[in-house]
């Protein structure tokens, strides 16, 4: 087990250059006036595959040996990582098997199939996705690429914050959505190197607050299939790599309930004209709803993804 460093993020940035988008940074005077701070939104919803996950996936797959590339990879994911592995594998010509819950949003399932991944569906309540992934890896000699607890994945995800700080300068706060903590770990390592005074805040859905509890108690806590609209953050716990990194490099954690998250998502659609998915709005929700004393400061917010299942809209409008 190797812990990723800022040098690994620099190396990942070189590795993904030309393949991943250098995503834009959005700002809004209306939002800045309302909050009394300068906010910079890093638009990973506009990344290839619709989320930051392409960064880590491409970084990991492009580092496989020729032999590993030929045999292919297997991964487990509820959506965006699956889509990213499917797409990165298409670009790099690596066969990929994706273990996905049968209740994953249809947009994410169809997109994954569209990028040419082989799907293996499982029952979220009865089966263990990691076990299925490990079994397939063994039986078919595939390389397992987990969604967050992997040094190349974390380093790849860290390139988004590296770009953000290089583009707009140092920050006082950085709000980052947190599921298994891959994005948060990479972001925190990058921020520590490029803007050491920046407080990195991890943000989770309130129903799945395992990382917040882990951060506070300093012992790894878990949650089982939390009910939340933030489907990208329904992970059971932080990982063996991400937990220690979060403990060491993250300043604080915050949680957001589903109605607040949905209100924020609609607000971003309306104000920034940016389609962000519920999980992708976690950081923005914490920043905009006063989770931290950010008045008068420079604030980065990672909008982590934009793969919205629009068939859920009527339900969301009701629940906000």
Ligand X SMILES: *Cc1c(COP(=O)(O)O)cnc(C)c1O
The residues of the shown chain that bind ligand X, judged by CB under 6 A, are 51, 53, 80-81, 147-148, 177-184, 232-233, 235, 277, 279-280, 304-305
Report the residue number whose CB is nearest to ligand X.
305
- Can 210 be counted among the known catalytic residues? yes
Rounded least distance, CB 65 to ligand X, Å: 25
Rounded least distance, CB 32 to ligand X, Å: 24
Question: What span, in angstroms and rounded, lies between the C-alpha atoms of 103 and 121?
Answer: 9
Pick 155 or 178: Cβ nearer ligand X: 178
Handedness of CA 24, 25, 28, 29 (dihedral sign): negative
- Can 78 be counted among the known catalytic residues? yes
Rounded least distance, CB 313 to ligand X, Å: 18
- Can 108 be counted among the known catalytic residues? no
CA-CA-CA-CA dihedral for 149, 150, 155, 160, to nearest 10: -50
User: Contact at 8 Å (CB) between 314 and 284?
Assistant: no
Marked catalytic residue, from 62, 78, 185, 237: 78
- Can 11 be counted among the known catalytic residues? no
- Can 185 be counted among the known catalytic residues? no
Rounded least distance, CB 188 to ligand X, Å: 11
Pick 35 or 154: Cβ nearer ligand X: 154
Marked catalytic residue, from 44, 204, 277, 309: 204
- Can 50 be counted among the known catalytic residues? no
Q: At what angle do helices 242-249 and 182-194 cross, to 10 degrees?
A: 40
User: Contact at 8 Å (CB) between 216 and 238?
Assistant: no
Marked catalytic residue, from 8, 44, 49, 53: 53
Rounded least distance, CB 139 to ligand X, Å: 26
Pick 38 or 306: Cβ nearer ligand X: 306
User: Contact at 8 Å (CB) between 55 and 12?
Assistant: yes
Cβ neighbours of residue 317 closer than 8 Å, sequence gap 6 or more: none
Pick 38 or 44: Cβ nearer ligand X: 44
201, containing H or E segment: strand 199-205
First to last CA, the chain: 42
What are the residue numbers of the active site?
A: 53, 78, 204, 208, 210, 304
């Amino acid at each position: 087990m190797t812990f990723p460093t800022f040098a690994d993020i620099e190396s990942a940035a070189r590795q993904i250059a030309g393949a991943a988008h250098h995503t834009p940074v959005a700002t809004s005077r209306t939002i800045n006036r309302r909050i009394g701070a300068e906010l910079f939104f890093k638009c990973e919803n506009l990344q290839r595959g619709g989320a930051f996950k392409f960064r880590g996936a491409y970084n990991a797959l492009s580092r496989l040996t020729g032999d590993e590339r030929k045999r292919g990879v297997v991964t487990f994911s509820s959506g965006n990582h699956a889509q990213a592995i499917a797409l990165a594998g298409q670009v790099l010509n690596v066969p990929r098997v994706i273990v996905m819950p049968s209740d994953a949003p249809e947009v994410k399932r169809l997109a994954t199939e569209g990028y040419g991944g082989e799907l293996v569906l499982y029952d979220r309540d009865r089966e263990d996705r990691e076990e299925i992934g490990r079994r397939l890896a063994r039986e078919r000699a595939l390389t397992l690429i987990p969604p967050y607890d992997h040094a190349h994945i974390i380093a790849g995800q860290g390139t988004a914050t590296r770009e953000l700080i290089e583009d707009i300068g140092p920050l006082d706060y950085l709000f980052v959505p947190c599921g298994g903590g891959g994005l948060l770990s990479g972001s925190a390592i990058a921020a520590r190197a490029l803007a050491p005074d920046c407080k990195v805040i991890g943000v989770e859905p309130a129903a799945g607050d395992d990382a917040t509890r882990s951060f506070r108690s300093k012992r790894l806590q878990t949650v089982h299939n939390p009910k939340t609209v933030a489907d990208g953050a329904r992970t059971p716990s932080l990982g063996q790599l991400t937990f220690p990194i979060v403990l060491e490099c993250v300043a604080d954690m915050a949680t957001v309930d589903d109605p607040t998250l949905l209100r924020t998502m609609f607000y971003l659609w309306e104000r920034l004209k940016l389609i962000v998915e519920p999980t992708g709005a976690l950081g923005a929700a914490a920043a905009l709803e006063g989770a931290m004393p950010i008045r008068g400061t420079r604030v980065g917010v990672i909008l982590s993804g934009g793969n919205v299942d629009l068939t859920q809209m009527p339900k969301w409008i009701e629940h906000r």
